[in-house]
């Protein structure tokens, strides 16, 4: 990956967006983008000078689209739109998500169809580069005329209003500017509208969903394989020939990963002629279930990367005599795949919980509740209560927000996407999923130790050791919440999957060979 990303001319991807947000990649405006930006802004100035009526340049907004605005009031109009639309409520969104909103808005506006000033984009880039990230409330967008409320809060600091996260604290923008010795900027015609029209709130949550769901899917394969080993299941259902007969790419990838993860296992070899005919579905059907969620993830990734390079404000400025007022700000193209991904994440939790339950039953040579002295001890019974609770909570979050629509703007905006809710819900499901997977991982590690002295494959033994570096084998009851939080931290910060992947590379093992589309 190059050290510099050129806004407006390079293609933005999920990985590049996250790299810019993390400071690993620097976003800049090159001469080509600057020329496009300046040309588009000149077109807006010509529209105003000629007194041509163009929505949002010299008219009101929404239901007030037919209300003319005088030339002397066009700048005031842009200031007021940020004020009037800053109606968000609830807790602030995560700082990283707000930063991704800034990054994706710069990418959209830098393509030269929005009429904004170069200085405005340079100020937004200053916020990104200096980690002065606006405070954005989580609720208030219906995801249709763009994410109006959250984007308004995002850009209040441009005009000296609102709050920012600054040096780890929430600080009034005016105080930040005093410390940084800078002033607010004056928005030109159309700029306020260009800033708050767009799908960047939905898109930022989609970027995080792509990253986080991918990590959970990778972890689920590893953890599921460990549970299979602990339960002395068979790898026969992962045979490549079977999956060629139902050739879904996600299914084939998961089957391949399971074959590789289980290769060389002493435990697997020990029961090859045990006479057990079939495993329960949560073991046998991992390629079909995990694979279906992989397919949903791929759909979300592909559409997210289209949106990352889209122009989604309104109107579009093609020339001083050529403007189009349309609906590129409507969130429906992202709302539907986010709802799909929400269900995909919940299903990974459903099947993981079933494996947790299987591990507790005391079958196939494991002690009931994964502890020898139960009665006095409850063993791993109660952690599964938590997975059951989280799975049920996820089910309640699976109603598709995009199936609803409520008219706004006195009926002018009579169909809305609710994609902002889709994005937030998908990430809430992933919050819960990370804990569900952590509990299965704890349970599988506990169970595998009852198979000693036999060993699993080198990859799964390494995964087991990663957990044991943080959490010891449980001889008796203890506060399992501490264990859960430690292991969940390894999943949430991506370190568990990353460490297994790096170990596989050292062992010259390819987990995802031939399935490059499933990376980002």
Residues with a catalytic annotation lie at 55
Residues 205 and 147: their CA atoms lie apart, in Å, by 12
Instruction: Calculate Rg over the CA atoms of the chain.
Output: 26
Q: Which residues are paired to 163 by β-bridges?
A: 172
Element (DSSP H or E) covering residue 73: none
Beta strands in 226-338 (DSSP E): 316-319, 322-324
Quote the CA–CA distance of 256 and 246 in Å, as a whole number. Answer: 14
What is the C-alpha separation between 391 and 385, in angstroms, rounded?
Answer: 10
Q: Kind of pairing, strands 316-319 and 89-92?
A: unpaired
Distance CA 48, CA 132 (A): 33
Asked if residues 228 and 220 have their Cβ atoms less than 8 Å apart, the reply is: no
- Complete edge-to-edge strand list for the sheet that includes strand 133-134: 133-134, 163-166, 169-172
CB atoms within 10 A of CB 381: 15
Alpha carbon distance 506, 143 (integer Å): 45
- CA–CA separation, 513 and 47 (whole Å): 54
CA dist., res. 147 & res. 57, Å (int): 19
d(CA 313, CA 4): 25
Cα 136 from Cα 150, distance rounded (Å): 6
> Do 112 and 7 contact (CB within 8 A), yes or no?
no
Question: Which regions of 57-177 does DSSP assign to beta strands (E)?
Answer: 89-92, 133-134, 137-139, 163-166, 169-172
For residue 14, give the H/E element and its range.
helix 14-21
Cα separation, 438 vs 79, whole angstroms: 48
CA distances from 18 to 98, 129, 335 (A): 12, 13, 21
CB 163 within 8 A of CB 88: no
Pairing of strands 89-92, 137-139: antiparallel
Tokens of 88: 């968000």
Sign of CA dihedral 22, 26, 32, 37: positive
Do the beta carbons of residue 116 and residue 125 sit within 8 Å? no
């Amino acid at each position: 990956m190059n050290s510099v990303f050129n806004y407006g001319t390079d293609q933005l991807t999920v990985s590049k967006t996250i790299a810019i947000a993390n400071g690993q990649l620097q976003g800049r405006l090159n001469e080509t983008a600057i020329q496009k930006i300046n040309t588009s802004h000149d077109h807006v100035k010509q529209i105003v000078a000629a007194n041509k009526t163009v929505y949002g340049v010299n008219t009101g907004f929404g239901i007030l689209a037919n209300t003319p605005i005088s030339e002397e009031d066009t700048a005031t109009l842009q200031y007021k739109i940020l004020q009037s639309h800053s109606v968000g409520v609830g807790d602030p969104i995560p700082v990283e998500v707000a930063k991704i909103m800034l990054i994706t808005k710069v990418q959209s506006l830098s393509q030269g169809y929005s009429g904004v000033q170069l200085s405005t984009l340079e100020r937004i880039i200053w916020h990104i580069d200096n980690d002065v990230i606006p405070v954005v409330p989580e609720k208030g967008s219906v995801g249709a005329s763009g994410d109006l409320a959250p984007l308004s809060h995002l850009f209040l600091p441009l005009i000296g209003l609102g709050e920012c996260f600054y040096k780890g604290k929430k600080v009034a923008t005016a105080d930040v500017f005093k410390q940084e010795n800078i002033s607010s900027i004056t928005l030109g015609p159309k700029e306020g509208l260009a800033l708050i029209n767009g799908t960047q709130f939905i898109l930022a949550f989609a970027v995080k969903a792509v990253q986080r769901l991918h990590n959970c899917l990778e972890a689920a394969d590893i953890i599921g394989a460990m549970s299979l080993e602990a339960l002395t299941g068979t790898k026969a259902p992962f045979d490549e020939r079977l999956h060629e007969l139902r050739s879904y790419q996600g299914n084939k990838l998961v089957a391949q990963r399971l074959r590789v993860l289980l290769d060389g296992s002493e435990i697997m070899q020990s029961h090859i002629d045990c006479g057990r005919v079939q495993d329960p579905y949560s073991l046998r059907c991992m390629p079909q279930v995990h694979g279906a969620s992989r397919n949903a993830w791929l759909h979300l990734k592909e559409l997210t990367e289209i949106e990352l390079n889209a122009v989604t404000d309104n109107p579009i400025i093609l020339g001083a005599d050529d403007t189009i007022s349309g609906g590129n700000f409507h969130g429906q193209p992202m709302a539907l795949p986010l709802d799909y991904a929400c269900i995909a994440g919940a299903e990974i939790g459903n099947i993981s919980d079933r494996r947790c339950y299987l591990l507790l039953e005391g079958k196939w040579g494991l002690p009931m509740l994964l502890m020898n002295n139960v009665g006095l001890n409850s063993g791993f019974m109660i952690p599964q209560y938590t997975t059951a609770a989280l799975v049920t909570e996820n089910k309640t979050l699976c109603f598709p927000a995009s199936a609803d629509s409520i008219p706004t703007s006195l009926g002018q905006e009579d169909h809305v996407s609710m994609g902002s809710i889709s994005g937030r819900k998908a990430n809430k499901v992933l919050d819960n999923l990370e804990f569900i997977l952590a509990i299965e991982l704890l349970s599988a590690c506990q169970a595998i130790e009852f198979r000693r002295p036999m060993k699993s494959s080198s990859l799964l033994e390494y995964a087991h050791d990663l957990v044991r570096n943080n959490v010891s084998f449980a001889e008796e009851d203890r506060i399992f919440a501490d264990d859960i939080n430690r292991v969940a931290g390894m999943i949430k910060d991506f370190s568990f999957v990353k460490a297994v992947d790096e170990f596989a590379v050292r062992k010259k093992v390819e987990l995802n060979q031939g399935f490059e589309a499933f990376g980002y």
